[in-house]
A and B are shown apart, each in its own frame.
Chain A
Amino acid sequence: MEPVIQLEKLTKRYGSRRGIVDLSLEVYPGEVLGYLGPNGAGKSTTIRLLLDMIRPSGGRARVLGLDPRADAVALHRRVGYLAGDFVVHKRQSVRECLSFLSGLRGGVPAARIDELAQRLDLDLSARIKSLSKGNRQKVGLVQAFMHQPELFILDEPTSGLDPLVQQTFLDLVREARAAGQTVLMSSHIMSEVEAVADRVAIIRDGRLVAVSGMAELRSRTALTVQVEIEFTTAPNANRFAVLEGVTDVTVEGCTLRCRAQGSPDALIKLAAEHTVRRIRAVEPDLEDLFLGYYSSEEKARVA
């Protein structure tokens, strides 16, 4: 199967500053690829290379079989792009802005714009400058989705969206996949992409450190959560520390804090022997997770 996106040793240097280094990656038709990495890792650099906003220092990129630079106009016709820092003219109304942008594509049925705006709960008559960050992001989503492109390139698409709208966005992505469209979406938060991604590519310090199917990645990183439980009485730290998958146990007054890896079943059952006043489980952000995960590998490389 011909890849929709094909990167071969793609490199971008900004003077002496690193952008991305020798990045090779393929995205196949009809798949949703989550492009993950901490802020500043090179996600936006990769994406802007695909859109011909910047030019590579080395290597090669093909998108939909086309050269991002030589065939930029033909390529952009077939791509829906949402920039990481999506901005539009502040004085325009939402409808005016979308009508201008669809005009650049030779027109989009008004019904399609209305439908997307309704699903995302976006007021088309509002002035852009009166919109919140989240509502501006909705304008960005509408312009990326309105012309039914073959390929979506979305840089941090969910930033600023409230959870309800995030769900609508994920529905849109699922529908796109069902329609055979391909999606590349970046994020620095694992949970945002794990709901829809078929595969994830992880970038750190400008290098691709892992590409794997969602299921494989889940088993490798074995979901770790930071748990905080407040009891009515002081718990015995030692009883919790011996549980499998539970580490870093500390007790402060009636509050127990620990890290739990894999199934939290044993932890929950032991906690249930006490009266639980409050429980909080925080998924570590991706940065922490991979800093931990790949630091050993890095040490090996340095040595």
Chain B
Amino acid sequence: MSRSILTQSLWDNRRSLTGWIVAATLLAIIYGAFYPQMTPQSVETVPDALRDAFNFSDIGSAAGYLGTAPFGILVPLVVLFYGVATGARAIAGDEENGLLELVLAHPVSRTKLLLQRFGALAVGAVVIALMIFLGMLAIRSSAQLETVSAGQFAAQATAVCLLAVFFGALALGIGAAGGRHGLVFAGTASVGVLSYMLNAFAPQMGATWLQKVSPFYYYIGGEPLKNGFQWGHLGVLAALTVVILGIGLWAFNRRDLG
């Protein structure tokens, strides 16, 4: 039984994908498990800036706690880098090491190649989000996180998934348009970190509107752990992903392979 480009990409990347899954899930679980150790004193130690950054007045609550370090910083940064690394390799990386030319010399259109590579990236993101979701459900009662419902965890996991997919599409799209591997990786990672900071610190600069430029705002701004699915925000991430892929595809079909 031979594999499609999508399944072969997943298979070829199985080791690194396993690493990303383990890293993201463990961070969420370990931080979640520490919630019962939180005391009113330790809440005080959270810097005001960080509290403001996430607009959490109720940092002592389970949703508030999970919304800071684990789902506000660590998990999103891990999946950001999953997206960047996987997306940069999908086109730019494989173009540089010659693997793209091998596949495209077969009866495979550039459109099909790009979409299947993106599909593999998206499947990886779904698996990461699913494992985080299952992990949180597993520790929910033992870590006294019952105030966050399964639906709210599902909403947060969906946002994690779309954040990874968005930055994956950005890296893949820039590579498709002709960016070199190193440049695509560094560039997209910088955009990711900058947009993270923009979302976190724009309110303190009195520029709340600036937040709305950042993809991270659409990831966490609606506080899915407290408010459940933010369809409007998820829709913005999904729409941006489609637009970026469309532009990447348009450019990819028009250019020379390196």
Binding site for B on A (CB under 8 A): 48, 51-55, 72-74, 76-77, 79, 81, 83, 85-89, 91-92, 99-107
CB–CB A73/B257 < 8 A: no
Asked whether, in the complex, the Cβ of A107 is within 8 Å of the Cβ of B101, the reply is: no
B3, B5, B256: most-surrounded residue (chain A CB, <10 A): B256
B8 at the interface (CB under 8 A from A): yes
Chain B contacts for A77, CB-based, 8 A: 107
A-B contact pairs, 11 of them (CB 8 A): A53-B104, A53-B256, A54-B257, A73-B108, A74-B107, A83-B102, A89-B99, A100-B8, A101-B102, A103-B4, A106-B107
Query: Which residues of A sit under 8 angstroms from B103, Cβ to Cβ?
Result: 104
B141 in contact (CB, < 8 A): no
**Closest approach, in angstroms, between the C-beta of B256 and any C-beta of chain A?**
4
CA distance A55 to B43 in the complex (A): 61
Q: Are A73 and B109 in contact (CB under 8 A)?
A: yes
Selected from A54, A74, A87, the residue in CB contact (under 8 A) with B256 is A54
Among residues of A, the one whose C-beta sits closest to the C-beta of B104 is A53
> Which residues from B are CB-within-8-Å of A81?
105
Closest 8 CB pairs of A and B: A103-B2, A87-B98, A54-B256, A104-B106, A77-B107, A81-B105, A53-B257, A76-B107
Chain B positions 223 through 258: 1 when the CB is less than 8 Å from some CB of chain A, otherwise 0: 000000000000000000000000000000000110
- Distance A284 CA – B190 CA, assembled complex (angstroms): 54
User: Whose C-beta in chain B lies nearest to the C-beta of A144?
Assistant: B105
A76-B105 in contact (CB<8A): yes
Q: How far is the CA of A107 from the CA of B3 in the complex (A)?
A: 11
**Could you list which residues of chain B lie within 8 angstroms of chain A, going by C-beta atoms?**
2-5, 8, 12, 97-99, 101-109, 256-257
Closest to A77 in B: B107
Residues of A within 8 A of B5 (CB): 104
Q: Name the contact of B3 in the complex, choosing from A73, A79, A100 (C-beta under 8 A).
A: A100
Residues of chain B contacted by A51 (CB below 8 angstroms): 104-105
Additional pairs, 19, CB under 8 Å, beyond known A76-B104, A103-B2: A51-B105, A53-B101, A53-B105, A53-B257, A54-B257, A55-B256, A74-B107, A76-B106, A79-B105, A81-B105, A86-B98, A87-B99, A87-B102, A89-B99, A92-B12, A99-B2, A100-B8, A103-B3, A104-B108
- B2, B97, B256: most-surrounded residue (chain A CB, <10 A): B2
Pick the contact of B107 from A73, A88, A99 — CB < 8 Å?
Answer: A73
Q: Smallest CB–CB gap between A202 and chain B, Å?
A: 25
What is the CA–CA distance of A107 and B108 in the complex, to the nearest angstrom?
14
| Cα(A88)–Cα(B105), bound, Å | 13
* C-alpha spacing A27/B97, complex, angstroms: 31
Determine the chain B residues whose CB is within 8 A of the CB of A91 once the complex forms: 12
Which has the most chain A C-beta neighbours within 10 Å: B104, B106, B257?
A: B106
> Complex Cα distance A99/B3, Å?
8
Pairwise interchain contact B105-A83, C-beta atoms closer than 8 A: yes
Given contacts A83-B98, A87-B99, A100-B2, whether A105 and B256 have CB atoms under 8 Å apart is no
The CA-CA distance from A104 to B104 in the complex, in Å, is 10
Contact A88 B256 (CB under 8 A): no
Distance from A231 Cβ to chain B, minimum over Cβ atoms (Å): 50
A107 to B98, CA, bound (A): 23
Within the complex, which residue of A55, A92, A99, A105 is in contact with B106, where a contact is CB–CB below 8 Å?
A: A105
Contacts of A53 in B (CB 8 A): 101, 104-105, 256-257
Report chain B residues within 8 Å CB of A48: 257
Cβ of B99 to closest chain A Cβ, rounded Å = 6
| A90 CB, nearest partner CB in chain B, Å | 9
| A-side contacts of B3, CB under 8 Å | 99-100, 103
Residues of B within 8 A of A54 (CB): 256-257
Given contacts A53-B257, A55-B256, A103-B3, contact A85 B107 (CB under 8 A): no
Docked complex Cα distance between A102 and B8 (Å): 13
Contacts known (A54-B256, A74-B107); A102 close to B98, Cβ less than 8 A: no
Please indicate the chain A residues that have their CB under 8 angstroms from the CB of B257 in the complex: 48, 53-54
- A16 smallest CB distance to B (angstroms): 15
A111 to B211, CA, bound (A): 61
Rounded to whole angstroms, the CA-CA distance of A51 and B101 in the bound complex is 9
